[in-house]
Amino acid sequence: MADPWQDAMDHAVALARKAGTLVRDAVQNDMKVMLKSTSVDLVTQTDQKVEKLIIESVTKKFPTHCFIGEESVAAGEACVLTDSPTWIIDPVDGTTNFVHGYPFVAVCIGFAVNKQLEFGVVYSCIEDKMYTGRKGKGAFCNGEALQVSDQRDITQSIVASEFGSTRDPEVMDKVFSTMRKVLCLPVHGLRGAGSAAINMCHVAAGSVEAYYETGIHCWDFAASAVIVSEAGGVLMDVEGGPMDLMSRRVVAANCQVIAERIVKEIDAFQPTRDDAAAQD
């Protein structure tokens, strides 16, 4: 049976590649850097330009589809996932990396129908790595099938996380206490690409056993969640329940055992949900 969303996924891949070229060409140019929620939460005109390019192109091809885009939400658009076909877009994941020319920058396009993620595209554009995942059809990087690590021992693992874009002392205490506990399990190492999506693609590719973070947004990990799952990985909430795309927190791992071991060490906290305004 023909895949009803193949055309949409093909369009997403072509758009991610086109947008990625724009991002790569803009890296380290004399760019105008603006601030969002904190002095370390950056945005540039490239973020805004890429998101506009993607939304305008998709609207032409699929005029009834909906969008959740990082910069559209920042400009006041609602962040609510309905049953409608919805494109969940992070135009530049790893904006701080982009501003500094640090080579982990990704165009992320997730796609959901009836609130279920159908496909994800993450284009790590400086590395030229196109990660894709289609529900039930596997995950790939530049056409090569992806498979998570077969490691089951956390003490033989590498774990990824990030410091995030808040510097609130209470939050930082939880971030650091969790990192200390994870490091002292011990694990072989703690890594951070500076991009939630690329961290999760590293889980899918088997080079990292697990990634966790609290404070990210749905657009940071919608696409890469499909890629992890289709590479044989597991996704869950930082307190062990099912992953909640709007909760701003996630654990992505190669297996249930490693995921649950990470959960035990996390000092959990709940940021304001992405869909909080829609729930009022």
**Annotated binding-site residue numbers for Mg(2+):** 70, 90, 93, 220
Reading the block at residue 40, the tokens are 């370390």
102 exposed, middle or buried (CB, 10 Å; 0-12, 13-18, 19+)? middle
When the beta carbons of 126 and 216 are compared against ligand LIP, the nearer one is: 216
Least distance (Å) between residue 95 CB and ligand LIP = 4
At CB < 8 A and 24+ separation, what contacts does 137-146 make? 137/3, 137/230, 138/230, 138/231, 139/204, 139/226, 139/227, 139/228, 139/229, 139/230, 139/231, 141/201, 141/204, 141/205, 146/204, 146/205, 146/206, 146/227, 146/230, 146/231
Nearer to ligand LIP, 90 or 274 (CB): 90
- SS3 labels along 162-197: CCCCCCCHHHHHHHHHHHHHHHCCCCCEEECCCCHH
Shortest Å distance, C-beta 162 to ligand LIP: 3
Contacts of 207 (CB under 8 A, 6+ apart): 149, 158
Tell me how far, at minimum, the Cβ of 43 lies from ligand LIP, in Å.
Answer: 8
Q: To the nearest whole angstrom, how small is the minimum distance from the Cβ of residue 195 to ligand LIP?
A: 4
Nearer to ligand LIP, 44 or 149 (CB): 44
In the complex, which residues of this chain contact ligand LIP (CB under 6 A)?
Answer: 70, 90, 93-95, 162, 164-165, 195-196, 213, 216, 220
Q: Are 209 and 104 in contact (CB under 8 A)?
A: no
Q: How far is the CB of 237 from ligand LIP (least distance, A)?
A: 16
Identify which of residues 5 and 163 has a Cβ nearer to ligand LIP in the complex: 163
Q: Looking at beta carbons only, is 53 or 257 nearer to ligand LIP? A: 53
Tokens of 137: 């059809």
- Give whichever of 194 and 233 is closer to ligand LIP, judged by the CB atom: 194
Residues 249 and 213: beta-carbon distance below 8 Å: yes
Q: How far is the CB of 121 from ligand LIP (least distance, A)?
A: 15
- The annotation places the binding site at 70, 90, 93, 220
